[in-house]
Each structure stands twice: as structure tokens, then as C-alpha cells.
Structure 1
């Protein structure tokens, strides 16, 4: 068997194995009637990747077709491939991994969204690689902002912090919090130098925020970590919250941030909910 044929067969085996490990709920599809196929159906993967079912079938069958990098990125997103798997499929087809990470939309898993909701009345939210808010419970939305009601491009912690005037009212120590957040963002940019989404967000922040333009040249880098935040609410007044940052094992760039308050403040937050 020729080398291209071996690579095509390996790609097909990889796609099939990753399709079979996913369930409809994992990718936001209804389960439907009783299923005979293990995992997702081929046509469901094709639908998620916006390619024809026939073309996807050819790929799984190991036929020597050469999908573009855009198609491979779409398949990687549809099949929830991690960074190493994504690079591997590019190497199988094109002989080298992509030079950067595309600005694909991220999403929190249904299990993680459910956990965030179950943590109420303790505030909790999940952010992705670019600090997009991927999930939040009612307590977090009560204290910060109603993330789902914001335009998709504005559901981002950095964008909210630096461009929404309400953030300066909510965050008692706004300057310190904003500078630390920008420092954590700089560390992420350094870890993912080819990430188009990080670069695009940085450009938008520079255009919109004088603080970003002034602080970015200082090269401050801040680590992820636990600590204390002071928030201001129109009904509750000032609330002090202790937060813990947890990284998701399946998606290390996804961060679950949970908050706890003293008994009195926690009871008051629960009362507002």
C-alpha cells in the first residue's frame, strides 16, 4: 500500500473512532428515536462540519481525497478533537500541522453547563481560551452582567471589563482587576501565538480601550489563580467574594470560576435569586 493510501486509511479510522465516541447531546443534537449507530451518524457529522455526507463517507472509507485545511478544521470542531488530534489530521493530509489556531467558536460541554447551574446560589461561570463566557449561572449574571442577552461578540470578560461602563461600577477595584485580567490575557497570547481569535480580540481591545493601549506595552504577565474580588450591586451594595479557578481536564483552556461569600452575603444573594 502506498504512503498516501496508508495516511488516508489512518485518517478514516481516526474520524470514525471519534465519531463513535460522541453522543448527540455532546454536540447539541436531539437524541431522536432509538439509534442503531454507535455514537453520531455520518450525516450528523457532515451536517456539523457543513460538508456533504457523501464526501464525509469517502473520508471515513479511506479514499484518497484531499480535504482542505478549512474542511479539516470544521471536522475537528464537529468531532471535538483536541489540539493534538487536530494537528495530527492536518499532518496526515497536508504533511504539516496548521500554522495557527483558527478563530472557531468555543462551547462548554452540557455536563459543565449543568454543574455551573447546580452551584447556585454560589456564583459561577466558565470562560474559554479567549475569555468568552461560555456558561454562567443566575447568581453570576445577577452580580456581573446578563451574558446571554449580550451580542455574541460582547460575551467576553475582557470586552466587558474594558468597554462596558457598567464594569467600572460593578468591580470595586476596577483598575487592579482590569490590569490583572489583561496580564492573564497576555500570557494566553504568548502560549498560542498563532491563534487568530486572540489576535482579533487584541486588535479590537486596542481600538476600543485607552487603558489597553496604555497598559499593553508594559508587558505585565499574570498567572491564573484564586483570590478575592469586591463587587458592587445596586441592591446588595458591596459584596466580597472568594474565587477558585479550576481548569477542565478535557479542555484545559476552559476555566471554571466559582465564588463563595460569607454566610450573610450568600443568604442575601440567594434571596435575590
Structure 2
């Protein structure tokens, strides 16, 4: 047990309040005699969680106790805590919290898409920590959705960059920028080591792109951050764009990346593409539909 004997009122109030939300029917137990308070009794929570009644009582009373992650997880399941509540229980019990793997987002909702659209004429995209593209706006498609990038057939930035030819690649100074992007990918990979989806992705891209395999083997790690990159489009030439990353509530490891011109010349070229003048390629309605799965390139 911990040396301190102080009681903490918040640990008592939190699990007690969550216990009141769970009825016996919720956990497959008979209601039994009339209950003085709603929800489960302490002994029922202890039984369902596989812990002692005294231990759980002390938890609710805010007494100093020894608590392991396994025991807290069992209590969290019984009380039907969501991810944020589970983390809060850990904090209150003074146990280090390590979040488990969360299901990756597969699509964006209309509100997020609305934000992307509102950023037009600035190119904007939503991608995951693995550089999977989930959604784009019209300005992004104007700039990056050219036949060569669509032909790759994989809605992922790195796949596009390593697979498309140098002459068709929208990213200028590719050899200078790719090491940073791979190092950023590795910083995210640390949270997913051993996960089949990530391991398959790394193996597949390593086999498809020897340069990626070489950069990945270097082991360099770089966190995401703002950058200024130069892009080219056959219709208007080169443009210098800065990028800004914004996190999205409810979508862990996903972010909006918005691009803004770094100079007046680049701004004018973006405007030309957006207005439809001198466009190299006009995407069909079928190709634009379901933007969440398009392939392309994005500053990151």
C-alpha cells in the first residue's frame, strides 16, 4: 500500500457515479429486492470485476490501495467506461496510463468535410498517421489529382511518392523531402509495432520501393511539423506551399493538413487551377465521387 493515508474525494465520487449508471439488467443479473439506490451494488461490481469487496470499497472511498492495470481494466469493463473515463480512472488511482490501440478512422463525417471545403481555395486533406488519405477538398484535387497519381491506385501519400515517376511526381526535390516523411512515419509506427495492418504496409511499400526500404532501415525518427515544400503542376509550373496540421476531435492519429501559398506567384497559380483555367486534366464525376479514397500527394 502507499505510505500516504490521505483520502481523495474525487476517486470516491467518480466510480460511485458510474456504478449508478449500470443496472443489473445491463450485466445480465436479476434485479433482486428493492434497491435503495440506482445501479449496481458495490459487492456486485466487485464480483463482476473479480476483485474483493473490501478492495473495491476502498477504491470508492478514496483510500490508498494497490491497483494494477489489469484490475482497473476489469473495473472499467464492469462500469462500462468509455476510453476517456477509463483513462480518468487510471489517473485517479495514480496508475500510469497507456492507451491501447484504437480502431483507425476509415472515413470523415460531413462536419470535417465541411471544414475542408471551407478552406478552398487552399488545398486541404485529412490523412492518418500512416499517410492514408481520407478526404480532400476541390483545391487539393485541382493540384494533385493528375492521371499519374490516380493510376497508382492506392490512397496513400507515400505509395504515390515512391511509385510515381520523377517527371510526373508533383513534389519537387523529392530526394530531399522523402527522408523526412519516412522519419515522420516511423515516429507514428512506434505506437503500432506488431500490428498486422502496419507491418503489412511497411513490408509492401519496402518491396514496391527499394528507396523506401533504404530510408526505413536508417531508423531516423522525426515528429510531424510545419514545412514549406515546392510542388509542380504541368499547367502552371512550380508553387511554394506551407503546411499546417490540425488535430481532429474523435479521430485519433488523424489530422487536417491545410496548405497556403508562400508567395504571390504561388497564390496566383493556385487560383488559376481552382478557377478551372489552364487545367491539365478535368476529373470526371465518377473519379471525384467518394473523395475519401482518392490517391494523391499532400504536404506533411
In the alignment, which residue of structure 2 is the partner of 1:52? Answer: none
Rg (Cα) greater in structure: 2
Normalised by the size of structure 1, how large is the TM-score? 0.60
CA drift at 1:170: 1.1
Q: Structure 1 residues 171 and 263, CA, compared in 2 at 3 Å: closer, same or farther? A: same
Q: TM-score, normalised by structure 2?
A: 0.55
Give unmatched runs, 5+ long, in structure 1: 1-9, 15-59, 65-80, 88-98
Match of 1:163 in 2: 163
How many aligned residue pairs are there?
198
Q: For structure 1, which segment, 260-269 or 216-225, has the greater mean C-alpha deviation from structure 2 after superposition?
A: 260-269
SS for the counterpart of 2:27 is: coil
2:28 maps to which of 63, 85, 90: 63
Partner of 1:144: 144
Give 4+ residue runs of structure 1 displaced > 4 Å after superposition.
81-87, 99-105, 149-153
Q: Deviations over 1:106-158 (max 9, x none)?
A: 222321111111111111111013211111112212222369x9589710111
SS of 2:159's partner is: helix
Structure 2 counterpart of 1:124: 124
Relative CO higher for 1 or 2, CA cutoff 8 Å, sep ≥ 6?
A: 2
Residue 177 of structure 1 aligns with which residue? Answer: 177
Aligned pairs for 1:16-165 within 5 A: 61-63=26-28, 101=101, 106-145=106-145, 150=150, 154-165=154-165
Contact 1:101 1:194 in 2 (8 A): no
Aligned to 2:62: none
RMSD of aligned C-alpha atoms? Answer: 3.9
